[in-house]
Amino acid sequence: MSPEFAIQARGLTKRFGDLIAVSQLDLDVPRGEIYGFLGPNGSGKSTTIRMLCGLLMPSDGNAFVLDTEVPGDARLLKPRIGYMTQKFSLFGDMTVYENLQFIAEIYSYPRRDRSTRIEELLERYNLGDQRKQLAGTLSGGQKQRLALACAVLHRPELLLLDEPTSAVDPQSRRDFWAALFRLAEAGTTILVSTHYMDEAERCHRLAILDRGVKVADGTPTELQENTGMHVVEVTAANPYHAQVVIATIPDVASVTQLGVRLRVLIPGAHDDPTGIVDAALRSAGLDARATLSSATLEDVFVAVTLKPRRQAA
């Protein structure tokens, strides 16, 4: 395993009977960065994370996490990683402080330093006023901050986060990501799964998963620059009718309505993508204007997940 990577996997596969949840996954996660898994539910994100932390046995392939083979030496790995599940999994009938004390005990955090460390986390994650409150009565954002505090209490080298913001409000999501960047700047490697495009754009690098297969990876900028598609933006007086017309063009891979605008993906081999769209709109007598646009991460996601499905069709 290369020392520059916190995680390296080759051919990682997980089958559940006839279902292939993860298929031949190759992965290189640099140390000290935030690496994202982007994909819908059922794309294999959670299964991959569980294999990487030793909770699931791979059907094929291998992985090294912090220079430790998984699942072979997973017992040695666990003190060096933090894991935050999608569902709040702490003790609802214990207070915030008691949950932190319990986690400190689980990880054998030095007794002489426990109180100082817990107080530090209560302040950092804005939980001081809730220290005596039962965890089960916290708001969604407070539960999220408590879960993160527990996951990092033992100062892990690697933090694995499984859709950690799926049940919180936008402000809590922004605050959570600010905390992740502080951790990364301090040297923690973070692997986070998400189905939110705006969160994926915050990652230093990301992999896009579709039905258990990695269909793209790279920095957000690299992915946006290499979609293999022209992106045409259409402004129309009647966007619904314009969408119906554009969807009939054989060369169009995808058309999506965003308010009064349409985002149209056309394979990069075409020399005049706006001309194709303009001609169809004029023929239909529609008042609309087509211009070339830069790809967003959502465009990338649509493009790379369309390719295998179009090939299979």
- Are 34 and 192 spatial neighbours (Cβ–Cβ below 8 Å)? yes
Q: Where residue 1 falls among pLDDT bands split at 50, 70, 90?
A: low
Same domain, 290 and 147: no
- What CATH code is carried by the domain that includes residue 285? 3.30.70.100
Q: Answer whether residue 268 shows pLDDT above 50.
A: yes
Say which residue the tokens 């003790």 belong to: 91
Q: Answer whether residue 310 shows pLDDT above 50.
A: no
Domain boundary, last residue among 193, 223, 253: 223
Q: Answer whether residue 18 shows pLDDT above 60.
A: yes
Q: Where residue 52 falls among pLDDT bands split at 50, 70, 90?
A: very high
Total domain count for the chain? 2
**So what's the pLDDT on residue 311?**
45
Using CB atoms within 10 Å of the CB of residue 241, give its burial: 0 to 12 exposed, 13 to 18 middle, 19+ buried.
middle
Same domain, 72 and 150: yes
- Are 20 and 187 spatial neighbours (Cβ–Cβ below 8 Å)? no
**So what's the pLDDT on residue 307?**
59
Separation between Cα atoms, residue 50 and residue 162, nearest integer Å: 9
State mean pLDDT over 202-229. 94
Same domain, 132 and 216: yes
- Are 210 and 249 spatial neighbours (Cβ–Cβ below 8 Å)? no
Angstrom distances, CA of residue 122 to CA of 147, 236, 284: 12, 52, 62
Percent of the chain residues past pLDDT 70, beyond the cut: 97
pLDDT in tens, 77-104: 889 999 998 877 889 999 999 999 999 9
Same domain, 192 and 99: yes
Q: By residue range, what is the domain housing residue 37?
A: 5-223
- Are 22 and 16 spatial neighbours (Cβ–Cβ below 8 Å)? no
pLDDT in tens, 105-132: 999 999 999 999 999 999 999 999 999 9
Residue at 300 is within a domain: no
Same domain, 218 and 109: yes
Same domain, 216 and 268: no
Same domain, 130 and 92: yes
Residue at 302 is within a domain: no
Residue at 109 is within a domain: yes
Residue at 312 is within a domain: no
Residue at 309 is within a domain: no
**So what's the pLDDT on residue 117?**
97
Q: Answer whether residue 223 shows pLDDT above 90.
A: yes
- Are 266 and 252 spatial neighbours (Cβ–Cβ below 8 Å)? yes
Domain boundary, last residue among 162, 193, 223: 223
Same domain, 196 and 247: no
Strands of 17-106 (E only): list them: 19-30, 34-38, 60-65, 68-70, 81-84
pLDDT in tens, 136-148: 999 988 999 999 9
Same domain, 198 and 276: no
Residue at 60 is within a domain: yes
**So what's the pLDDT on residue 308?**
46
Residue at 304 is within a domain: no
Among 182, 225, 181, 226, smallest CA distance to 199 is for 181
Same domain, 69 and 147: yes
Separation between Cα atoms, residue 106 and residue 126, nearest integer Å: 23
Mean pLDDT (the chain) is 92
- The pTM assigned to this predicted structure is 0.89
- What CATH code is carried by the domain that includes residue 89? 3.40.50.300
Residue at 310 is within a domain: no
Same domain, 41 and 77: yes
Q: Where residue 309 falls among pLDDT bands split at 50, 70, 90?
A: very low
- Are 100 and 118 spatial neighbours (Cβ–Cβ below 8 Å)? yes
Same domain, 66 and 182: yes
